[in-house]
Amino acid sequence: MNLSWAGSTSPSISGYNVYRAAYSASCGPFNKINAVVNTGTLYTDAAVANGGSYCYAATTLDSSNQESSYSNIVSNVQVPAQ
C-alpha cells in the first residue's frame, strides 16, 4: 500500500511517523509502522493483508524530537483481494 501526504511547511519539522490500525466499523488501536523516522512524504506499507481494511495517520517530529498528535485519520482504506 503506497501512502502519501502533504508535508508540513514548518521549518522545524525533521520527519514523520506513520501509524496503522485495522478497520472494522471503526479504527482499532494504532501502531507505528515505520522503523525509523520517515523524512519524506511517501511511505510504502508492505505488511498489509490482501482484502484487508485499514486506517492510517501520520505525526510530525520536530528538531527536538517532540511528536505531534495524529494527523487527520484516513479510515477504511481497502487493500484489493488478489
Convert the pLDDT of each residue in 33-76 to its tens digit: 999 999 999 999 999 999 999 999 999 999 999 999 999 999 99
Q: Please state, in angstroms and rounded to a whole number, the distance separating the CA atoms of residues 60 and 55.
A: 17
The total number of structural domains that make up the chain: 1
Residue type, 75: S
* Structural domain harbouring 50: 2-78
Q: How does DSSP assign 23-40, residue by residue?
A: BSSSB---EE--SS-B-S
Side-chain half-sphere of 73: how many Cα atoms within 13 Å? 16
Predicted TM-score (pTM) of the model is 0.93
Residue 24, all three cell numbers: 472494522
Residue from 21, 25, 17 nearest 61 by CA: 17
pLDDT digits (tens, 9 = 90+) for 1-28: 999 999 999 999 999 999 999 999 999 9
The domain that contains 72 carries what CATH number? 2.60.40.10
